[in-house]
Amino acid sequence: MTLFIDQVTKKYQDFVAVDNLSFTIEKGAIFGLIGQNGAGKTTTFRMILDLQETTEGNITWNGTHINSINRDVLGYLPEERGIFPSMTVEDQLYFFGELRGQQKKKLKKEVDYWIDRFELEDKRKAKAETLSKGNQQKVQLIASFIHKPEFLILDEPFSGLDPVNMDLLKNAILELRDNGTTILFSSHQMDNVEELCDHLCLLKRGVSLFTGSLLDLKKQYGKTKLTIRTEIPKEVLERLEGVKEIHVGKDQYTLTLINESYAQSIFDFVSNGKYIEKFSLDYLSLEEIFKDKVGGTHV
């Protein structure tokens, strides 16, 4: 059960939304598609969902062209809220479940489980329009996978959620993954992508800047982020060999090294053979890599 995107291009009259994009998502994997606004993420999702045709290239699910598969194997959460405002939470979930080929009787167990899991029991009979933004997001999310899809697309699933609900959602995504659902999602919150994804594709104006495992991406940059807590003044630290940049935090420094080989000599200098409270060498965060790749400050 793999999704295979093979040299897909989507052209409009005067611009190219997606240019020669290729990636593969294996069964049970969580794959992140990240990029700035207008990078082509939603267009890619729509092509996978057969809502838009590709100009060139092929998209297949388990070897079958995407426009020939049974659409009930797919689940989709769009970026903006997409629920019926005047329908109750429960009716909404039954409706979307039935629309994706499930029988109402069989849906009851799932509906009850997820309503309970997302703490929506007291909202079961409430109309969607009366719910808070976060609760609407939860209802919409349940609606996207109530039919137990084989492949689930989540476009910005975390937007509008508070930290507690964000954790609920992350756990639900992991549970779905553990049950065999293949998940493709996009998010502007890089920490979430970093936490959930094994593989990702980084898009800039429709072009893939990187496709592969998160670890491989990080290895491209190496362990160049050094965080230390010391009394040594900034002016001294920035003159050390191998230091490219220094950022002064509240009670610590963050140094960007040219490469990780300089870390040893810096450690020797800073510790001078004594106890040191903090010396941490790590990969760059995905957000830092993203900013570096796309060349902007806004994610």
DSSP-assigned letter for residue 104: H
Of 49 and 120, nearer to other proteins (C-beta) is 49
| Contact criterion met (CB below 8 Å) for 193 and 207 | no
Shortest spacing between CB 140 and other proteins, in angstroms? 8
List 65, 82, 106, 195, residue binding other proteins (CB under 8 A):
82
Count the residues in the chain: 299
Shortest spacing between CB 87 and other proteins, in angstroms? 7
| Contact criterion met (CB below 8 Å) for 187 and 41 | no
Establish if 71 lies at the interface with other proteins (CB under 8 A).
Answer: yes
Establish if 80 lies at the interface with other proteins (CB under 8 A).
Answer: yes
Establish if 81 lies at the interface with other proteins (CB under 8 A).
Answer: yes
Of 18 and 143, nearer to other proteins (C-beta) is 143
Establish if 16 lies at the interface with other proteins (CB under 8 A).
Answer: no
Establish if 83 lies at the interface with other proteins (CB under 8 A).
Answer: yes
Q: What is the CA radius of gyration of the chain?
A: 23
Of 48 and 161, nearer to other proteins (C-beta) is 48
Establish if 74 lies at the interface with other proteins (CB under 8 A).
Answer: yes
- Binding string to other proteins for residues 133 to 162, with x set by CB under 8 A, is what? -------x--xx------------------
What is the crossing angle of helices 89-99 and 133-145, to 10°?
30
Count of residues interacting with other proteins (CB under 8 A): 30
Shortest spacing between CB 164 and other proteins, in angstroms? 25
Residue 151's nearest CA partner among 100, 194, 193 is 100
Residue range at the interface with other proteins (CB under 8 A); choices 67-75, 156-164, 231-239, 284-292: 67-75
| Beta partners for residue 289, in sequence order | none
What are the angstrom distances between the C-alpha of 241 and each of 152, 222, 244, 253, 267?
48, 17, 9, 16, 12
Q: Where are the alpha helices (DSSP H) in the chain?
A: 41-48, 89-99, 104-117, 133-145, 163-178, 190-196, 214-221, 234-237, 263-271, 286-294
Give the residue carrying structure tokens 């593969």.
Answer: 24
Shortest spacing between CB 139 and other proteins, in angstroms? 12
Establish if 86 lies at the interface with other proteins (CB under 8 A).
Answer: yes
List 6, 20, 98, 230, residue binding other proteins (CB under 8 A):
98
Q: What is the largest CA-CA distance in the chain?
A: 71
Contact residues: other proteins, CB under 8 A: 12-14, 46, 49, 51-52, 71-72, 74, 76-87, 95-96, 98-100, 140, 143-144
